[in-house]
Structure 1
Amino acid sequence: MPFGQLVLGSAGAGKSTYCDGMHQFMGAIGRQCSVVNLDPANDRTNYDCALDIRNLVTLEEIMSDDRLGPNGGILYALEELEHNIEWLENGLKELGEDYVLFDCPGQVELYTHHTSLRNIFYRLQKLGYRLVAVHLSDCFCLTQPSLYVSNLLLALRAMLQMDLPHINVLTKIDKISSYDPLPFRLDFYTEVQDLSYLIPVLEAESPAMRSEKFGRLNQAVADLIEQFGLVSFEVLAVENKKSMMHLLRVIDRAGGYVFGAAEGSNDTIWQVAMRNESSLLDVQDVHERWIESKDFYDELERKEEEEQDRIRQAQAEAAAEASGDGVLDALSRPPVPDSGIRVARKKK
């Protein structure tokens, strides 16, 4: 039964960077992984595409032949893929049981109200794929209350539209400490706590928001999000191994992934960690990790990584020395006495 991630998010959220980083991380833990590019406008990927929608249809062709703009062209391209779903199915069959990352376009219409993307993945589910939607949002949205509320609504709508196990992720979290100070702790945003506290900050963002009419609208939107109670966020720094490891375990739990034999074949530190329940982030306070004491934990993890590299190097040297001793022992052994047995080839 193949597993996969449907990587969603608006333009600039870091979807392709995420696919590249997750592809490399899965390779490091011994999990066979392939990436499928479903963005007809993405002609320069950092990863190797196992399948590329641009081999079926390109945005440039659609815009030229049908006189559509970029957004309309991408919607048309996904409709074309839906009508030629056999192309995708046949390509995926060649990947066997590989874990698949689907890099999707950044047009939010595709996962808020347009049906083609949803229908495509419904079809893949019937083929036996166990999919998890991973919705990425740039953590810069936390710096403006209106952007944050907009991302909450977008995430909620995507969860209802796609109807899949769903993980919302704030990307580029390692940059959050360089932005303006947040009015609340980071866990207030990741856990989507009482949004009524956010309304005064939202009104202070713009004079137009201070009217009674907008006040009632803001409260209604906050109540809507809280009544559903579905949205929360994980945080991610793609270049941080512990952050990637934590997110992958969350996704594995959501999708019901069972570790395959390939991941048990080696004993590198990250493979062992991925199989260990205690491998979740040591610092559960995300505000402390990424804002208050970011430099301290970055240095701590750097030293841990250096220590792990030293241990791996020592193990490799010990293995090489043991292998060399084995060769010398074989050379120093006395010759085996002649058994008298001879093997003769028969002439044809």
Structure 2
Amino acid sequence: MGYAQLVIGPAGSGKSTYCSSLYQHCETVRRSIHIVNLDPAAENFDYPVAMDVRELISLDDVMEELGLGPNGGLVYCMEHLEDNLNDWLDEELDNYLDDEYLVFDCPGQIELYSHVPVFRNFVEHLKRRNFNVCVVYLLDSQFMVDVTKFISGCMASLSAMVQLELPHVNILSKMDLVTNKKDLDDFLDPEPQFLLSALNQQMAPKYAKLNKALIDLVSSYSMVSFIPLDLRKDKSIEYVLGQIDNCIQYGEDADVKVRDFDQEDDD
């Protein structure tokens, strides 16, 4: 049984920084994880890259050869990978044990999770390889300045979750950059009625029914709960990792170690 995190979120939400900090934390506590780059547009890494999708295709090459822009080029890269990504992963996994813990650092374009089927197919392939997979969705905490942006972030996350059909953990990243953390208290685990009231205050009356439908949808899919992550604090990283481990049942099949008190008495 293998374990995997699929780290997604908008561009600039701190996915690579999260992967780097997670790797450093696990190295400190002597826990083995491997970071996999799934972003053809990636340039620099602050962590050892166990597997790199740019070995198959890179955004720079596509933009130069086909004259595409960054977004169109990335979509082309992922469509090109659709027929090759799973075979590449199988070949790479031959170098690892069956119970490895992989963290996939993914691109930030939301259309890759809502319109292009490559990641859904990739997830299904991981499951066939006997991996328990969890989506880790990062949203920049500085984005949470009002209810409209909060709902927008939730809907983007929900779109990806519906497409991938996986357990998910939602994280507010970059908490170390927030000057007044009390401003976020209402959005960490808000009541649906609070969200609806705040949304109605900012939107025209004609959107009242739409607002209620959006809040009901977000509430029904349990998308109103975010975990704050402050990468300066080991306890914060440890708590987030614990929530993710619980989602993918990491460690539940480990052998229970029972102390031999009789042997200790003899010693």
**What is the TM-score with the length of structure 2 in the denominator?**
0.87
* Pair 1:241-2:234 in alignment: yes
Report the secondary structure of 1:170's partner residue: strand
Q: Percent identity?
A: 36
> In structure 2, how many angstroms separate the alpha carbons of the residues matched to 1:119 and 1:2?
18
Counterparts in 2 of 1:143 and 1:230: CA distance versus 1, 3 Å: closer
> In structure 1, how many angstroms separate the alpha carbons of the residues matched to 2:210 and 2:246?
36
Q: In the alignment, what sits opposite 2:87?
A: 86
Answer yes or no: is the 8 Å Cα contact 2:79–2:116 preserved in 1: no
Report the secondary structure of 1:83's partner residue: coil
After TM superposition, the structure 1 = structure 2 runs for residues 274-313 of structure 1, keeping only pairs within 5 Å, are none
Q: What amino acid maps onto 1:198 in structure 2?
A: L
Give the superposition deviation at 1:159: 1.8
Q: What amino acid maps onto 1:189 in structure 2?
A: F
Q: In the alignment, what sits opposite 1:226?
A: 219
Q: Point out 4+ residue stretches in structure 1 off by more than 4 angstroms.
A: none
Moved more, 14-23 or 117-126: 117-126
Answer yes or no: is the 8 Å Cα contact 1:238–1:244 preserved in 2: yes
Structure number with larger C-alpha Rg:
1
> Which residue among 145, 148, 154 is the counterpart of 2:147?
145
Specify which structure has the higher proportion of helix. 1
Q: In the alignment, what sits opposite 1:116?
A: 118
> In structure 1, how many angstroms separate the alpha carbons of the residues matched to 2:190 and 2:65?
45
> In structure 2, how many angstroms separate the alpha carbons of the residues matched to 1:162 and 1:65?
31
Q: What amino acid maps onto 1:86 in structure 2?
A: D
Give the superposition deviation at 1:259: 6.9
Give the superposition deviation at 1:112: 2.3
Q: In the alignment, what sits opposite 1:54?
A: 54
Q: In the alignment, what sits opposite 1:297?
A: none
Q: What amino acid maps onto 2:210 in structure 1?
A: L
**What is the TM-score with the length of structure 1 in the denominator?**
0.68
Q: In the alignment, what sits opposite 2:133?
A: 131
Query: Where in structure 1 are there 5+ consecutive unaligned residues?
Result: 265-348
Report the secondary structure of 2:250's partner residue: coil
Q: How many residues align?
A: 253
After TM superposition, the structure 1 = structure 2 runs for residues 5-84 of structure 1, keeping only pairs within 5 Å, are 5-84=5-84
Answer yes or no: is the 8 Å Cα contact 2:138–2:170 preserved in 1: yes
Query: Where in structure 2 are there 5+ consecutive unaligned residues?
Result: 258-267
> In structure 2, how many angstroms separate the alpha carbons of the residues matched to 1:228 and 1:258?
27
Moved more, 151-160 or 20-29: 151-160
Q: What amino acid maps onto 1:164 in structure 2?
A: L
> In structure 2, how many angstroms separate the alpha carbons of the residues matched to 1:226 and 1:130?
25
> Which residue among 154, 176, 179 is the counterpart of 1:177?
179
Q: What amino acid maps onto 1:92 in structure 2?
A: L
Q: What amino acid maps onto 2:143 in structure 1?
A: C
Give the superposition deviation at 1:132: 1.0
